[in-house]
Amino acid sequence: MLGDFIGNARMVGWLQRAIATEQVSHAYLFTGPDQIGKRTLALAFAQAIQCEVRPEGSGAACGECAACRKVAHGNHPDVLRIALPKDRQHYSIEQVREIIEDVALKPTEGRKRIIIIPDFEQMTIQGIQASLKVLEEPPPTAMILLTCASADLLLPTIISRCQQVALVPVALQELAEALMTRHEIDAGQARELATLSGGCPGWAISALDDPDALAERRQLLRDLAALTRASRAERIAQAAKLAANKETAQRTIELWLPWWRDVALTAYGAPDIIRHADDRAGIEAQAKAWGAAAAGRFVRSLVRALEQLDQNANPRLVFEVLLQDLPGL
Ligand SMILES: [Zn+2]
């Protein structure tokens, strides 16, 4: 439900107010990093709209009526969730045609006919052209909810037709507390999960049942500390390993970035606002060894590397340059 969504309270409040004041728009675009909760929020939004017993002037779903339960179980006839075809990178043009036909139908039992299209960046140009008209002028009873990692990946003509719901990583403390309240874990575990998740609740929750994912991230952070002592040749060898593909490369940088930001913050004399407080000693040692200027420079290198990966640069080359920028050579 909307009220249970972890983090991004301002955005959630904005969506609730739109429902309460009956000013819901016909198209929304949910953006943000992997596992931040784009689909979860889109679905909770759809649930609040369809809830049968929601009082006038309220933006919250009851969670218990037939409509709420159907949305939660994925079988509400007026909340359609589109998925990429198995083993396919892109939506097929047939799917787009079906969506367009579906949107034109009147709701059968809900207040609106809602179509959720995740990963809209996987739409082909053909598909986008076909869907533009629907996005611009959908029937009054229809709503389209799109998700996408970043609005930068979409054409301006798409973005301008949607209300944007930009989700950002959840603050460490807030995420740790939410994990502790909802799952039976202690404060230390909750804090580590929140830290390693990079502020993405979806990752933290799935890692609760996936010790391998947790171990992999711990190892990546240890690798990082060790790399400052590695030679140029060792770094090139590591680059090949860490950047086997775009996803691994991105995940590694997203994990390293907050850690190195902590090193820079500590070197600049602001150690109380660091994210990885559990590794304070390791961070202080790095801050002392390289100083504020070098740590800050490497943080900028990490940000640049992420941008290059977004623009589809070769992950291995990006990492080779990145690891040469890492202090210690
Ligand atoms: Zn309800």
Q: Given CA atoms 44, 46, 51, 54 in this order, what sign does their dihedral have?
A: positive
Centroid of ligand 1 to alpha carbon of 107 (angstroms) = 17
What amino acid is encoded at 101 in this protein? E
Centroid of ligand 1 to alpha carbon of 47 (angstroms) = 7
Centroid of ligand 1 to alpha carbon of 54 (angstroms) = 6
Centroid of ligand 1 to alpha carbon of 236 (angstroms) = 56
Alpha carbon distance 234, 71 (integer Å):
52
pLDDT at 166: 96
Q: pLDDT, tens digit, for every residue of 160-198?
A: 999 999 999 898 889 999 999 999 899 988 988 888 888
Architecture of the CATH domain 210-325: Up-down Bundle (1.20)
Q: Which two tokens stand for residue 106?
A: 């009147």
Q: Which two tokens stand for residue 83?
A: 């998925």
| The CATH number fitting domain 2-166, selected from 3.40.50.1820, 2.60.40.3080, 3.40.50.300, 3.20.20.150 | 3.40.50.300
Centroid of ligand 1 to alpha carbon of 295 (angstroms) = 51
Three-class DSSP category at 115: strand
Centroid of ligand 1 to alpha carbon of 20 (angstroms) = 14
Centroid of ligand 1 to alpha carbon of 8 (angstroms) = 23
pLDDT at 65: 96
Q: Which two tokens stand for residue 256?
A: 């390293």
Alpha carbon distance 123, 147 (integer Å):
11
> Length of the chain, please?
329
Q: Which residue from 149, 145, 167 is spatially nearest to 6, judged by alpha carbons?
A: 167
CA-only gyration radius of the chain, Å: 22
pLDDT at 280: 84
Centroid of ligand 1 to alpha carbon of 49 (angstroms) = 9
33: phi > 0 → left, psi -120 to 50 → alpha, else beta; which? beta
Centroid of ligand 1 to alpha carbon of 203 (angstroms) = 28
- Residue 15: which H helix or E strand, with range? helix 9-20
Centroid of ligand 1 to alpha carbon of 174 (angstroms) = 27
Confidence (pTM): 0.81
- Residue 148: which H helix or E strand, with range? strand 142-148
Residue ranges of domains in the chain: 2-166, 210-325
Q: pLDDT, tens digit, for every residue of 32-53?
A: 988 999 999 999 999 999 999 9
Centroid of ligand 1 to alpha carbon of 21 (angstroms) = 17
Taking 70 as the pLDDT cut, the residues of the chain under it are none
